[in-house]
Each structure stands twice: as C-alpha cells, then as structure tokens.
Amino acid sequence: MSSPETSGLDQLPPKARKLVVKPRKAAISAQKTVERKARHAVRKTSGFVHDQPLMAEARNSLQDEILQTRSDV
C-alpha cells in the first residue's frame, strides 16, 4: 500500500518521483499545520463565547454590520 505522498507515482522514474514527492510532503505538512491551528482557534473561540457571551454577541453584531456596510458599497 502506498503512502499519500507516493500514491499514483508507480509508473514514474525515480528522479521524476522525487520531484513530485517533495512538494506533496510539503503540502501535506502545511495542511496538517493549518488543521491543527484551526482546531486550536476553535477551542480558544468557544472558550471565549462560553466565558463572555455578551461580548461575543456584540462582536458578531459589529462584524455583521461591517460586512453589510461593505456589501452596500
């Protein structure tokens, strides 16, 4: 069974495979980093909403108002 980095590369010569595998590994690593940071941000945000529900709602209302103003332009 092949790894995600090497999936579909069986027919390529070794040099070509290396040219594809390195960027794939970098992309997979970047995706994992983004997902990890997103999970962290969700945890922080949900804690804020739980601890400060009025502030969270005020922020959402202000953000909605700003977005509405921008769409009117």
pTM score above 0.85:
no
CA triple 57-59-63, angle to 5 deg: 115
Long-range contacts of 25-31 (CB under 8 A, 24+ apart): 28/4
pLDDT tens digits, one per residue of 16-72: 999 999 999 999 999 999 999 999 888 877 777 778 888 878 877 888 888 887 776
pLDDT tens digits, one per residue of 11-24: 889 999 999 999 99
**What is the predicted pLDDT for the residue at 48?**
75
CA triple 43-48-52, angle to 5 deg: 160
For helices 14-51 and 53-72, what crossing angle results, to 10°? 120
